[in-house]
Amino acid sequence: MGVVTYDYENTSPVAPARLFKAFTVEAPKVWPTAAPNAVKSLEVEANPSSGSIVKINFVEGLPFQYMKHQIGGHDESNFSYSYDLIEGGPLGDKLEKISYENKFEAAAGGGSICKSSMKFYTVGDNVITEDEIKALIKGSEGVYKPVEAYLLAN
């Protein structure tokens, strides 16, 4: 197994506290409403807290039917959270899991900067390329951008 780390930053006009809530504790309510063309539903095992499993069900026609995340933790005072993608989605037979650490920070002039650190754990001798990682990030924007627009409108 190999591990590839990739860091990524994205800016948003939405305040860090609002983004944090929309991507953590309010995700089961916000995501299907904000991104109905991508997310059908979210199923949370107990409260969305450390160790819980979240199953994200996608609408028909997308490349993946579902993904399962295992929550690592939330730190509301720092607007940070972590989770592992453990099943479904882009894992296929090439990746064992993807670990994410995300933090929303205040940006100069308002809004926020989302800082993400991703670790891709490959199966066996498989390799993941930077182009494949960028494609996965682009795919995740199918939820991120609509959630951002929803927060701005509401």
pLDDT range class, residue 48, cuts 50, 70, 90: low
DSSP the chain: --EEEEEEEEEESS-HHHHHHHHTTTHHHHHHHH-TTTEEEEEESSSS-TT-EEEEEEPTTSS-SEEEEEEEEEETTTTEEEEEEEEEGGGTTTEEEEEEEEEEEEPTTSSEEEEEEEEEEESTT----HHHHHHHHHHHHHHHHHHHHHHHH-
Ranges of each domain in the chain: 2-153
pLDDT tens for 116-130 read 999 999 999 999 999
The pTM score is 0.91
pLDDT tens for 4-43 read 999 999 999 999 999 999 999 899 999 999 999 999 999 9
pLDDT, greater one: 69 or 44: 69
Q: Which fold does the domain 2-153 belong to in CATH?
A: Alpha-D-Glucose-1,6-Bisphosphate; Chain A, domain 4 (3.30.530)
What pLDDT is attached to residue 31? 96
